[in-house]
Amino acid sequence: MTERSIIFFDIDGTLLNHEKKLPPSTKEAIFKLKELGHEVAIATGRAPFMYQELRKELAIDTFVSYNGQYVVVNGEVLYTNPLKTSSLEKLTEFALHNEHPVVYMDHEDMKANVPEHHYINESIGTLKINQIPTHDPHYYKERALYQSLLFCRVGEEKQYEQQFDDFDFIRWHPFSVDILPKGGSKAKGIEAIVEKLGFSKKNQYAFGDGLNDIEMLSSVTNSVAMGNGEEEVKRAAKYVTKSVEDDGILHGLQMVGLL
C-alpha cells in the first residue's frame, strides 16, 4: 500500500458534474480511497448546509466550507474566520445605493437583505439545492457570518474591491460574487486540517476547477485541475486530468498513483 494521504475535493465542477450529479466512477473512486486507508475531505465555497446529502452519501465528515472560513474535522469545528460586521454593514449600505442585493450566510442558513431578486434566484438556482434565501435584512447583526454574496453584473464588483479592504471578492456566477474575509481561502482551511491531522506536504492532494481553487491548487503539493477548469486554474495545478463529465476524478487519482 502507498503511504496514507489526504485528498481534498472541490464540489461544483469537480465532484459534481454540470448537472450537479455525482458520476458513478467518482463515487466508486472515493470509497476505494477510503478502503486503502486514505483521508478524504471536501474543500468548497459552499455553505455546510448546501451539501449535507453529499457528505452523507460519501461518508465524509472532514471539510472546508465557505472557501476556508468554516472548517470541520471528523465532525468537530476546528477553525472559523468570520466577516467583519462593521465593514459588512457599510458594504450593505453601498450595495443598497447601487441596487445590488446581498445575502448573509452563517453555518446554518442564509438570508437576503431584499425580499426577492432575479439575480439571487438565477445564480443560487444553478446550485440545485432547492433553497433560496428568505428575507432578513438584519441577519448580519446577530451572529458570526463566514461568507456573503454580492449580486451584480461582471465588472461591477470592481468598485467594491476598491472601497472595502477587509474583504476579498471572487466571482462564481455572471450575477454573483463571493465576499470573503481578506486573505481567507481554501488553502488556509486546508492548512488548519493538515496541521491537526499531521499529513506531510508530499501526502497532500487537491482537486478543483474554479477561480476559488487557484490558491488551494497553488499551495497543495499534489494539485490536480479538472479538464473542464478555466485555463488560469489549470496553470496553477501540478497536473490536469480529464473533464468531470469524462471520469476526471478517477483518471486523476490514477494519474497521481493513488488508485
In angstroms, the CA 59 to CA 169 distance is 31
Q: Any catalytic annotation for residue 209? A: no
Catalytic member of 10, 106, 178, 209: 10
Helix crossing, 248-255 with 24-35: angle to 10°? 40
In angstroms, the CA 243 to CA 234 distance is 12
Cell 446550485 locates to: 127
Q: Judge whether 28 and 36 are in contact, CB under 8 Å.
A: no
Grid coordinates in use for 98?
Answer: 447601487
Q: Judge whether 216 and 11 are in contact, CB under 8 Å.
A: no
In angstroms, the CA 254 to CA 134 distance is 43
- Annotated catalytic sites, by residue? 10
